[in-house]
Chains A and B, each alone.
Chain A
Amino acid sequence: MSKPKSAYSQPTKFGKEDHHIIVVWVDNEAGVLARVIGLFSGRGYNIESLAVAEIDKIKHLSRITIVTKGTPEVIQQIKLQLGKLIPVHKVADFSRNDPKILFKELALLKVVGATKKLDKAKKLCKKHDGLILDKTKKSFVIQVTALRREIDKLVTILKPLGLISVSRTGAVAMTKGDEVFTQ
């Protein structure tokens, strides 16, 4: 690399990126999601998936689960920057490979085709406790809860069997055992 002649330096060391699941407990007030998402886009952090809903109707608390990718330094910054937002109560960070954490994603899949193909498709979904929500002679809608990569795989193999519509949530996470995350 030639010597740069600039006031800004070029990075020469890059850390290894890893997938993390960031869970954020926030006051469910106007604009709170925009604050969280704006922080990610403004600082150039990744969002691979996102799941949000109110989890406490009385205290108006929402739980946001974000799957992101970054170097350890970036993940650390994400946590600290989120912690500074006023409506944020606590922030948890789980590595995707953490054995003490449960992850799930839900998908609705619609398959349209002849009976033979439909049967084959249903069989493939069985492995993931597929729950048929709607059925006609020519189609079915099935609900699958699994890991992201399992759903990815399922989608690929269902394509040739008539999969025409996919709707997926982002991942949600929870610790195993009797522990809850406190900060």
Chain B
Amino acid sequence: MPKLLSGAEIVFKSLEDQKVEYIFGYPGGAVLPIYDELKNHKTIKHILARHEQGAGHAAEGYARSSGKPGVLLVTSGPGATNAVTALTDAYMDSIPIVCISGQVPTHLIGTDAFQECDTTGITRPCTKHNWLVKDVNDLADIMNQAFRIATTGRPGPVLVDIPKDIQFNKGVYKVSKNKLEKKLNGALTHKINLKEVDKFIEMIKKSSKPIFYSGGGVINSGPKASELLRELVSLTGFPITSTLQGLGAYPGDDPQFLGMLGMHGTYEANNAMHDCDLMINVGARFDDRITGKIDEFSPKSKKIHIDIDPSSIGKNVKVDLAITSDVTELLQAVIKRFKEKNKNFIESNKQKTAKWWTRINEWREKKSLNFINSKETIKPQHAVQRLYELTKNQDTFITTEVGQHQMWAAQHYKFNKPNRWMTSGGLGTMGYGLPAAIGVQIAHPKKLVVDIAGEASILMNIQEMSTAIQYRLPVKIFILNNEYMGMVRQWQELLHDKNYSESYTEALPDFVKLAEAYGAVGIRAKNPDELDEKIKEMIKIDKPVIFDCVVDKVENCYPMIPSGKPHNQMLLGPEDEKEEVSDEGKTLV
């Protein structure tokens, strides 16, 4: 007779089997048996957040920066509903999260019991899969599958809902052989097909105006993928641009890198995407923030798309060569084959792409990220540039909230390694950055972790300051404080007749005092002269810091592709804003 374990013990046994070191969570009635069991498992540390959304984003930050799945533990009802934003965020950005939620006891399900909600129903569309556990003997299998599904194929969140009686019940810990082997996530385990590889190389050789366009899939595929991407880009001598989520896969300061593309991408990246004759999409998904007007997206190019998720291919943009594969595996095959046959390609091909590079350099001359600096007020772009200059010599991890500051961070902070940049891209969740930074700092205790924040966003999960203090996590919150929901204000200025409806925050806390109230350190910088000194001071402090960087209130984020326009019609700065807004356009936002 095998040993019987309680449901709660089974949960921990499978967490141990998965080598989980941290759980981010918040207790409540329906998960107390699991919390009871915590003390018996010394290798697993629980991080108590101050809100389940915070716990969820912290798990995301942990996962993104470490490459391991994040584990989230919440109670039934409000605990589960508070986790929904984080689960959706992880779903959109393909982050592996295993969420365990408590549920009312089985016999009360369906009776509107205290703190009952249909958790699996609510989270069905925002998880890769979820389970309501009905028999304690299924629990070990379900937990095992949960980790597999979260971490394989296109990663994402899963949820296991465990009624309280199941947590108490005794059952056997038995993991059966995986039935899913053949089709994890619907992505049939892809066998690299030499024909595809040869076609890939053929297209590379034919092109005279090529561009690589890489995305978060490269990061998700692991650090090896970034190395391979660098190798292929340098073997071909082609230019490369990246999505918001892909930043860091390719060094941000390399001459072949054209900067980020998309709505707030650089002039050279977007124009090159528009005019190219070959686009090589490596692990990106032709998101609408990237393509602009879809009908006029890169009209003359042949397109190659590598994605692990077959449903991402051909969803928004038709492609000429579709390869369903993990990025690492495919790049390995391509590079091997390419080297066999094309020694010295870069030299022999120089002539062919010379004109293209000349064109690109002309676009670069526009210096589309430039801004007019000021001696009186701190320009937000300048603040990010200074932060970059003063932190680039150490291995720094950056998270962000959502808004203009996020785009300025993406434009002006240069990432040289993968997993150093954590931002909410797909869902655009204000309040992501601070809890994410906490998760990052847990995974990398000795590293500098900075949340580049807006004053509006930071207030959405400010309670997590308390978590940072409790676990002595010296995260730095660098607020570009413009007193406005700047991104909203910018859209109102450009698209809504300067009707600044509800985008100014009349009452803001004193962020320095707020930091002190939590037991952290507050620093304020008001003018450009003191900025460097104060940033240096912030970096030195081994405690959480809120840095209130008082910036220009009405600066806009440029360049910008407005109005569902194609890539080659960007606004570069205030002088381009003249055009009138149509009523139809406004309804589209």
Contacts and interface: CB of A to CB of B under 8 A. Distances in A.
Contacts of B128: 84, 86
Interface stretch (B243-251, B308-316, B330-338): B308-316
A76 B310 CA distance: 10
Interface stretch (B119-127, B372-380, B458-466): B119-127
B27 to A, nearest CB: 27
Given A4-B564, A5-B581, A86 B124 contact: no
B288 A9 contact: yes
Contact of A5 (B121, B186, B291, B495): B495
Given A80-B310, A83-B311, A34 B121 contact: yes
A150 to B, nearest CB: 35
Interface string B538-582: 000000000000000000000000111100000000000001011
B129 interface: yes
Q: Is the interface of A mostly helix, strand, loop or mixed?
A: loop
A35 B121 CA distance: 9
Interface string A1-17: 11111111111110000
A113 B314 CA distance: 56
A85 interface: yes
A7 B149 contact: no
Contacts of A35: 124
A31 B124 contact: yes
A42 B91 CA distance: 14
Interface in B311-335: 311, 314-315
A30 B118 CA distance: 13
Contacts of A71: none
A175 interface: no
Interface stretch (B96-104, B292-300, B360-368, B403-411): B292-300
Given A80-B310, A81-B311, A84-B185, A6 B124 contact: no
Contacts of B491: 7
Contact of A9 (B124, B183, B292): B292
A115 interface: no
A1 B564 CA distance: 13
Given A3-B582, A12-B295, A34-B124, A73 B311 contact: no
A88 interface: yes
A5 B295 contact: no
A83 B292 contact: no
From B149, B309, B564, B565, residue with most partner A Cβ within 10 Å: B564
10 contacts: A2-B584, A3-B563, A5-B579, A5-B582, A5-B586, A7-B564, A7-B588, A10-B588, A38-B125, A84-B187
Interface of A: 1-13, 30-31, 34-35, 38, 42, 73, 76-77, 80-81, 83-86, 88
Interface of B: 120-121, 124-125, 128-129, 132, 134, 149, 180, 183, 185-187, 263, 288-289, 291-295, 309-311, 314-315, 491, 494-495, 562-565, 579, 581-582, 584-589
Give the top 3 A-B pairs by smallest Cβ distance, nearest first: A5-B585, A6-B588, A9-B564
